[in-house]
Amino acid sequence: MNQTEVIPKNIVLIGFMGSGKSTVGRELHQRLGYSLTDMDQLIEETMGKKITEIFKEEGETAFRDFETLQLIEIAKQTESRHIVSTGGGIVIRPENRKLLRNLGYVVWLHAPGDVIYERTARNKDRPLLNLPNARERIDTLMAEREPWYCEAAHLKIDTAGLDSKEIATGILESARYFFTHPI
Ligand code: S3P
């Protein structure tokens, strides 16, 4: 079957916390003019709370349930020419990985643990890293999640040493190829 017939022309960004999904999503949005959904932002707007509050008051499972519901909604409403920037834990659930693959061209932004730590250490908005042993936690979560990112992604980009414009350029070039040369 021709993959371009089944995979809509959307770009979906996945990757660990601090891997640059939101920034690269905005860059792609500006360059392509495709609409943009930042899932974390959407969840905060819909629930009227910060993610840290959702985790604290309702727990991680409630957050994950809501995240999956949002992804189902996005998949239903999104036809084509859309950028979706996801939360780092979206790949945990197998049903999400399947939804992501069918939603568009899935790009995994990867960065080494030290880089992730540098980028996230001062920000207290990520409940899973808001811990004294955040550096070790990054390694543990990354090791656990790597196979899931790998399963969901059509493309992995090693972002170390690249700025968001360079990353976006790489994504655009490969997306053009992906959508015109089905695999
Ligand atoms: C999470 C990543 C966060 C946010 C939540 C949980 C995760 O998004 O969805 O704090 O489990 O990795 P970012 O990847 O945008 O930080």
CATH number at residue 10: 3.40.50.300
Residue 180 belongs to a domain: no
What is the pTM for the complete model shown? Answer: 0.95
Residue 86 belongs to a domain: yes
Integer CA distances (angstroms), 169 to 22, 63, 151, 182, in order:
15, 33, 23, 20
Tokens of 124: 């207290």
Q: Give me the pLDDT at residue 5, please.
A: 53
- Residue 120 Cα: closest atom of ligand 1: 16
> Cα dihedral angle (121, 108, 165, 82), rounded to 10 degrees?
-120
Q: How many helices (H) and strands (E) are present in the chain, helices listed first?
A: 9, 5
Query: What is the torsional sign of CA 54, 57, 60, 62?
Result: negative
- Residue 17 Cα: closest atom of ligand 1: 14
- CB of 127 within 6 A of ligand 1: the answer is yes
**Atom 3 of ligand 1, nearest CA residue:** 87
Number of domains into which the chain is organized: 1
- CB of 126 within 6 A of ligand 1: the answer is yes
Q: Residue 84 in 3-state DSSP?
A: strand
Tabulate helix, strand, coil % of the chain (nearest 5): 60, 15, 25
pLDDT tens, residue order, the chain (183 aa): 444 457 899 999 999 999 999 999 999 999 999 999 999 999 999 999 999 999 999 999 999 999 999 999 999 997 899 999 999 999 999 999 999 999 999 999 999 999 999 999 988 899 999 999 999 999 999 999 999 999 999 999 999 899 999 999 999 999 999 998 755
Q: Give me the pLDDT at residue 2, please.
A: 45
> Could you tell me how many residues make up the chain?
183
Residue 181 Cα to ligand 1 middle (Å): 32
Residue 165 belongs to a domain: yes
Residue 183 belongs to a domain: no
Residue 25 belongs to a domain: yes
Q: Residue 36 in 3-state DSSP?
A: strand
Residue 150 Cα to ligand 1 middle (Å): 17
Residue 122 belongs to a domain: yes
Q: Residue 121 in 3-state DSSP?
A: coil
Residue 28 belongs to a domain: yes
135 contacts: CB under 8 Å, gap ≥ 6: 113, 117
Domain housing 144: 3-175
Q: Give me the pLDDT at residue 124, please.
A: 87
Q: Give me the pLDDT at residue 27, please.
A: 98
Beta bridge partners of 83: 11, 36
Beta bridge partners of 156: 108
**Atom 16 of ligand 1, nearest CA residue:** 17
